[in-house]
Structure 1
Amino acid sequence: MSERSILVVAHTGRPESLGAAVEVVRLLRAAGVQPVVDAESLDDLRAACDADAELRVLGDDVAVGELELVIVLGGDGTILRAAELARGGSAPLLGINLGHVGFLAESERDDLASAVARALDRDYLVEERMTLSVRVKHGSEVVYETWALNEATVEKASRERMLEVVIEVDGRPLSSFGCDGVVMSTPTGSTAYAFSAGGPIVWPSLDALLLVPLSAHALFARPLVVGPNSSLAVEVLDRTQGVGVLWCDGRRAVDLPRGARVVARRSSTPVRLARLHPGPFSDRLVNKFALPVHGWRGPIDEEGRST
């Protein structure tokens, strides 16, 4: 039987996250499972773990394709980093929330030992989340390619200058306006930047793409929801005084000169999330946003009883 390898991803610059990572490493080693860490976290974890703790490094000692699971300790930002590290493999991500809202996380810090035990028993379901394939063109040349789990955002690079853009759906122009930027999002990202910009919340089970303008100076600048096979594009117009910047998941950035064109489509490679507590997305919204539902009686059957 081949050795089991589980990647542990944590924000090791934070004491709580580092302590949780040390505990997970200890639990994995006690179960005979090989802990794997990324090169960026290696020194911090080696210093914090027992002297005899053997840690293997992702990419040097263990390939992405050899991972069974990724245990992520932190908020959604850490999960986005883990998704980047695990890209190209099939290992699902199990998030333990040490942040605030933590929409992508599955368990809370108090459930750490239980979550690891279930991970070791492979007692979880895997949920696939749509991602974006993002391409930047300048003229006829593709100058940059990347991907995003939450969103690809075209933003103004200078605070004092507006970005002039034209938006496009399925290869056809829709409108042009000055704005602070445009968010192109997945349903997963609908509760992230797109939500802050006034976009709709889209259930992650729905295959769709979102386009949400940021502070647009236009009469027609409403959020758009299109089908999963559509393409979205944002062009930086020549009349723009400054330059733009493309951010993907708030992690990867590239400058956009005038005339640059950013195209976002559904990627063929989803992100896989390990779920310990599958349930209605409505419950997740209520819990994460602390929404008021007091007084709800539920559906009523034909005889007037709550069901």
Structure 2
Amino acid sequence: MLLPLHSIAPARRILLYPREDGPAAFPSTSEAAAWLVERGVGVAVPTHVHEQRDNPWLELPDEVVPVDLEALPADFDLAVALGGDGTLLRASRWVADLDVPVLGINLGDLGFLSAYGREQIVEALADALAGRLSWEPRQRMQVEVLRRGERFGQETAVNDVYIKHGQIPRLLRLATRVGGHDLATYKADGLIVTTPLGSTAYNLAAGGPIVAPGTETFTITPICPHSLTLRPVVVSAHDGVDVTWVGPTGGEADAYLTVDGQWKIELERGDRIELRTCEQPLRLVPAQASVFQVLSAKLGWSGAGLGQDNANSTKK
């Protein structure tokens, strides 16, 4: 499915969002900041990054300013995530509601979502300043927690949500409905519900399917289900998904809801989690290669000699 592309105007104010564990991304962040400042671009970094200016791996020009992510201004033309897919998703959570496009520069291994690699930092920034970038809309998920009929918490997921047991390893019973109809009561360590964008994250590790970008779906994947007949399910995002923690009722047990690995709350039995498609999408600068091409190239799906065999058969 082809997604609509929207042009991004030449960037004059950019937020750099490096991977949070420091040294792995700080040299690239320093390179990007210096290159942009030299060309008169306004550059900002999160406050927690700016406070580490004494780190030998981080050399920020004096012109780079700190910004509070909790009160992020909406005047950025672009957010640049320097790290892996997790970094891009964390950056997206802060800027998606502001309609700021996100560009990923992959500093890790797989990098399903990033448009550029480590060796392409200058190329990526040059494209941003020249107005050669475009963004695609990517579906997000609205998350509401209802407790005794009242809204207890609300968040938005770019990637996924999961309900999982806590310190006490008890199988959870999670009654799940789709479009107002019963789907299953999962007896498992937990349950993952993901957007297409997040299908290559925890969902993939748990045996869930990879979903093509642009499909308006949610994927429901049990974590270590008690019964092998409980399989991952792909449903229409427009139907919505409701998950209620119904058990176990005897003895001690705890469960937690986590959104994008960033927002976490402890659940009570009877809590209902309502998952709906979010009207405001993430604006993502897409990679040139599809997620399936990345999988083929980096996970060896194509096979050692498949390309040559295909070439030979074409010649015949």
- TM-score w.r.t. the length of structure 2 is 0.87
**Whole-angstrom distance in 1 between the partners of 2:237 and 2:102:** 23
Match of 1:180 among 189, 197, 210: 189
Alpha-carbon distance in structure 2 between the residues aligned to 1:252 and 1:224: 24
Query: CA–CA distance in 2 between the matches of 1:102 and 1:235?
Result: 34
- Give percent identity, aligned residues only: 28
Instruction: Identify the match of residue 282 of structure 1 among 292, 308, 314.
Output: 292
Residue matched to 2:52: 44
Is 1:157 the counterpart of 2:166? The answer is yes
Q: Distance in 2 between matches of 1:90 and 1:46?
A: 33
Residues in 1 aligned to 2:310 and 2:181: alpha-carbon distance in whole angstroms: 44
For residues 158 and 37 of structure 1, do their structure 2 counterparts lie closer, same or farther at Cα, with a shift above 3 Å needed? same
Among 195, 219, 235, the alignment partner of 2:244 is: 235
Amino acid of the residue matched to residue 102 of structure 1? Answer: G
- Deviation digits for residues 160-180 of structure 1 (CA, Å, limit 9, x no counterpart): 222122111112222223210
Q: Pick from 301, 304, 309: which aligns with 1:291?
A: 301
Preserved contact between residue 39 and residue 58 of structure 1 (Cα < 8 Å): yes
What residue in structure 2 maps to residue 85 of structure 1?
94
1:95 touches 1:107 (CA, 8 Å); kept in 2?
yes
8 Å CA contact 1:211–1:225 kept in 2: the answer is yes
Using the TM superposition, name which of 13-22 and 30-39 deviates more. 13-22
Find the residue that maps to 1:190 and give its secondary structure: helix
Instruction: State the distance in 1 between where 2:310 and 2:199 align.
Output: 26
2:74 maps to which of 57, 65, 71 = 65
CA displacement at 1:123 relative to structure 2: 1.1
Amino acid at match of 1:112: I
Do the aligned partners of 2:96 and 2:281 also contact (CA within 8 Å) in 1?
no
Matched, 1:247 2:258: yes
Does structure 1 residue 6 correspond to structure 2 residue 14? yes
Matched-pair contact (CA < 8 Å) for 2:11–2:128: no
Distance 1:154 1:12 in 2: 25
Equivalent residues in 2 for 1:84-123, closer than 5 Å? 84-123=93-132
CA distance 1:235–1:190, change in 2 (3 Å): same
How much is the aligned-residue C-alpha RMSD, in angstroms?
A: 2.5
4+ residue segments displaced more than 6 Å = none
CA distance in 1, matches of 2:148, 2:290: 45
What is the CA distance between 1:25 and its match in structure 2? Answer: 0.6
Q: Report the AA paired with residue 190 of structure 1.
A: S
1:183, distance to aligned residue in structure 2 (A): 0.5
User: 2:178 matched to 1:169?
Assistant: yes
Q: Which has the higher contact order (CA 8 A, sep 6+)?
A: 2
Q: Distance in 2 between matches of 1:203 and 1:136?
A: 28
For residues 9 and 219 of structure 1, do their structure 2 counterparts lie closer, same or farther at Cα, with a shift above 3 Å needed?
closer
Within 2, Cα distance between the matches of 1:46 and 1:6? 22
Structure 2 CA distance for partners of 1:63 and 1:177, relative to 1, 3 Å: closer
Is 1:64–1:88's contact at 8 Å kept on the other side of the alignment?
A: no
- The aligned counterpart of 1:32 is 40
User: 2:164 is matched by which residue type in structure 1?
Assistant: E
Superposition TM-score, scaled by structure 1 size:
0.89
Question: 1:138 aligned to 2:126?
Answer: no
Residue of structure 2 in register with 1:226 after alignment: 235
Structure 1 unaligned residues grouped into runs of 5+: none
Say which SS state the counterpart of residue 285 (structure 2) adopts.
Answer: strand
Q: State the match for 2:219 in structure 1.
A: 210
Which residue pairs with 2:207 in the alignment? 198
Q: By how many angstroms is 1:49 displaced? A: 2.8
1:131 touches 1:270 (CA, 8 Å); kept in 2? yes
CA contact (8 A) 1:65 1:88 kept: no
What is the aligned residue count?
Answer: 300
Q: Say if 2:275 is the partner of 1:264.
A: yes
Looking at structure 2, the residues matched to 106 and 94 of structure 1 have their Cα atoms a distance apart, in angstroms, of: 7
Change (3 A) 1:122 1:287: farther
1: CA distance, partners of 2:171 / 2:290 = 40
Residue 54 (structure 1) aligns with: 63
2:284 aligned residue: 273
